[in-house]
A and B are shown apart, each in its own frame.
Chain A
């Protein structure tokens, strides 16, 4: 038996013995564990699974043992992932630090930073959040204004971040800050990590049109950050940010893999709200719903095709670029149709007058508007397709004046 097969046998046996049965299969909303200083477990199984994976150093199986990683070879990591998938094990914790900042730190961090920042990640002790967007830097991310002023042995950070998921519950943030104003917008940005418990940091949850949300606004008022928290070169943050955002896509897909989709069956719900005798406009409404259902099927087939093409070693950059755009726009269309069909039954806010499904649809409908904005708006996605995939010329280079 090859050593890899031995590893597979041992891994399978260990997972069978150690992953609690209740944690196999997708999780409903709120059922996933977020690592960090304020970690909370809903039940004993969650705690056991967290601790067992932590003690096996498998939170970060591919990272070097020196920083608390598993030290596994790439082919062993692949085997571990296959076996986790085979048993449908949920991730023992969700941690943006591991999924997004970690890979960048491994590549660009100093030895001291790796020791200090990576090790607690591999223990699940620190919860990380991302500080990129600002009120004036959404789609135009390079427009950030939060400054880090050089004060000799430390920086002083002033400004604010917005759309920081779980900013109020996180321990540390990796943030893009402005460290130079003299050159191009991109050239004066640095990547800094900072302690969310430090003096002068304040995080405030944002209420959305759909109600409470996990998004926060974070304010920095003369926050002292020691210089060893600068990641990579001064003013070299833009390159690192692009690297981080590449990891965001795979992190989000991991997250999605383990979450139960909140699925509303369009045609089944319409059945309850459209009367049998059909007016011309109801026929049109049904046709819109049918087209929407078929488009969803075409999207699901495209997800499947992308997976097959990737496994066959084909370039899937083109297909990948459409996925977020298509999915979020389809969801929005679907809820619009539902709301049109349900009339005022989809306009309830709370109380007993409306069924729980009706209220859930209202919330999900309102939430669907955030999806075509967050994580790169639809317009940004279209720009990316036009420029990177279709290779259409750039307006700024000899383009429109």
Chain B
């Protein structure tokens, strides 16, 4: 197992950090927010990222990719996290790109994947339906019709869902939920299928969910949406494995973004502890604060190890990957809660003002924490249970 970046990955990390610091510092996010930009990212920045080849990183050369792996993706997400830089890299490349790479037909790959890598189109993944992430409880339905499929139901927390060229929608395709449960336990397949829904399809309504991080998040309402048979990705009823693999890639990239954001926020907090003077002393000389800062550092290091193990597991097709990804999302999430809370508290009054960037980090961190499973979700998924034999 390799838990550190190699020379090439480290170079990519350095390049990406310089790029985002120059092209998309935190002030860029502030400008997007204040300008009311619903797309949530700058098209020009996205084009430059595409030109740099970052959209091709995880894919095989046969599909126009660079085969640079998820350690490479992790490096880019970390760097973006440091500056809170916004782009559709997660939604379009990591989540939808993975599904098309692993399960798309040749026609689907030709039509969509090349365009996603080229940045000329983008897709968004629609999974969540309830208040908390739970891909085991999908109820948006897809039923067979004479001409293909009809989809009905709502999706929420669709990342970059506004203005996309289409969505990949996870739907239930078994007749009744009751038989689905029986079949699930019998075959291990859960009657979930994945569909490409092109933008402009009749019956699709997309509205903005305006969240605290000012990004592009959408609600997708599907009413009697008719889809042609070739919109189905992979085999009918067999979409869950495809979905899970893509979700794990997304989760590990979210963990990398969180790690980057938290390392930056922690540095900012340490700078403040060294310079802010109260009671005639820098507040960082007070042991109560020193020990809390030291514990935060401990958490950063433990989270970093978990993150690297998960990136490595994805790249090496380790069968332990789901467990290690959930360990990473759990541990990084725990760390992120601590770092973001301490950052606000240690900055004191200024820490709760909008003027300071600390608040922007705090809000983005909390959204990332919830995205594709919070700490509770991943604790249950990663940890052994008492019941297990």
A residues neighboring B (CB under 8 Å) = 267, 270-271, 274, 276, 286-287, 289-291, 293-295, 297-299, 301-302, 304-305, 308-309, 312, 314, 318-319, 322, 325-326, 379, 381-383, 385-387, 389-395, 398-401
Q: Are B379 and A390 in contact (CB under 8 A)?
A: no
User: Contact between A392 and B308 (Cβ–Cβ < 8 Å)?
Assistant: no
- The CA-CA distance from A319 to B4 in the complex, in Å, is 13
Chain A, residue nearest B266 (CB): A390
Q: Say yes or no: is B54 at the interface (Cβ < 8 Å to chain A).
A: no
Q: Is B282 an interface residue when CB atoms closer than 8 A count as contact?
A: yes
Return chain A residues, CB-CB under 8 Å to B286. Answer: 395, 399-400
Tell yes or no: B236 within 8 A of A by CB.
Answer: no
> Chain B residues in contact with chain A, CB under 8 A?
1-4, 270, 273-274, 279-282, 284-287, 289-291, 293-295, 297-298, 301-306, 308-309, 327, 330-331, 379-380, 382-388
Write out the residue numbers on chain A whose beta carbons fall within 8 Å of the beta carbon of B383.
267, 290-291, 293-294
Residues on A with C-beta less than 8 A from B388 are: 267
B281 touches A322 (CB 8 A): no
> Do A318 and B386 touch (CB < 8 A)?
no
A290 nearest in chain B by CB position: B383
Enumerate chain A residues within 8 angstroms of B2, measured Cβ to Cβ: 308
Question: What separation, in Å, do the CA atoms of A393 and B291 have in the docked complex?
Answer: 13
Total A-B residue contacts, Cβ distance less than 8 Å = 134
Establish whether residues A394 and B3, one from each chain, have CB atoms under 8 Å apart when the complex forms.
no
Determine whether the beta carbon of B1 is less than 8 Å from that of A390. no
- Residue among B3, B297, B386 making CB contact with A390, cutoff 8 Å: B297
Residues of chain B contacted by A276 (CB below 8 angstroms): 387
Using A291-B383, A304-B3 as known contacts, say yes or no to A386 and B291 having CB atoms under 8 A apart: yes
Whether A298 and B306, one on each chain, are in contact in the complex, defined by CB atoms closer than 8 angstroms, is yes
Query: In the complex, what residues of B have CB within 8 A of residue A290's CB?
Result: 379-380, 383-385
Residues of B within 8 A of A291 (CB): 379, 383
Q: A395 contacts which chain B residues (CB < 8 A)?
A: 281, 285-287
Q: Are A398 and B301 in contact (CB under 8 A)?
A: no
B327: chain A residues at CB < 8 Å are 294, 297-298
Question: Cα distance A270–B295 when bound, in Å?
Answer: 28
Q: A382 and B294: CB pair below 8 A?
A: yes
> Are A301 and B274 closer than 8 Å at their CB atoms?
no
Assembly CA distance A271 to B279 (angstroms): 53
Contact yes or no, B274 A392, CB < 8 A:
yes
Taking a contact as CB atoms under 8 Å apart, the answer to whether B290 and A382 are in contact is yes
B379 near A294 with CB under 8 A, answer: yes
User: Are B4's CB and A392's CB within 8 A?
Assistant: no
CB closest chain-A residue, reference B302: A298
Known contacts: A287-B379, A295-B302, A326-B302. The answer to whether A393 contacts B386 by CB under 8 A is no
Contact in complex: A393, B331 (CB < 8 Å): no
Query: From residue B14, how far is it (CB to closest CB) to chain A in Å?
Result: 15
Report chain A residues within 8 Å CB of B287. 383, 386, 395
Q: Is the CB of B297 within 8 A of A322?
A: yes
Asked whether, in the complex, the Cβ of A271 is within 8 Å of the Cβ of B297, the reply is no
Which chain A residues border B273 with CB–CB below 8 Å?
A: 392
Q: Are B274 and A299 in contact (CB under 8 A)?
A: no
| Chain A contacts for B295, CB-based, 8 A | 382
Beyond A305-B305, A400-B279, 9 additional pairs, beta carbon < 8 A: A298-B303, A390-B270, A390-B290, A390-B297, A392-B273, A392-B285, A393-B284, A399-B282, A401-B281
**Which 10 residue pairs are nearest across A and B when measured between Cβ atoms?**
A290-B383, A399-B285, A386-B290, A385-B294, A305-B3, A301-B305, A302-B305, A392-B284, A382-B294, A298-B302
Contact of A400 among B285, B293, B379, B387 (CB under 8 A): B285
CB-CB < 8 A to B1: which residues of A? 304
**With A326-B302, A395-B285: A401-B280 Cβ-Cβ less than 8 Å:** yes
Given A294-B327, A383-B290, A308 contacting B281 (CB threshold 8 A): no
**Is the pair A299, B285 in contact by a Cβ cutoff of 8 Å?**
no
| Pair B290/A392 contact, Cβ less than 8 Å | yes
Q: Which of B289, B293, B306, B387 contacts A301 (CB 8 A)?
A: B306
A322 vs B383: C-alpha distance when bound (angstroms): 24
With A290-B379, A322-B297 as contacts: A267 and B306 at CB distance below 8 Å? no
| A322 → B minimal CB distance (Å) | 5
Given contacts A290-B379, A301-B309, A308-B4, contact A325 B386 (CB under 8 A): no
CB–CB A393/B305 < 8 A: no
8 intermolecular pairs with C-beta atoms under 8 Å apart: A290-B384, A295-B331, A298-B327, A299-B302, A326-B298, A387-B290, A389-B294, A398-B285
B301 touches A302 (CB 8 A): yes
Verify B385–A393 contact, CB threshold 8 A: no
Report the bound CA distance from A12 to B388 in whole Å.
45
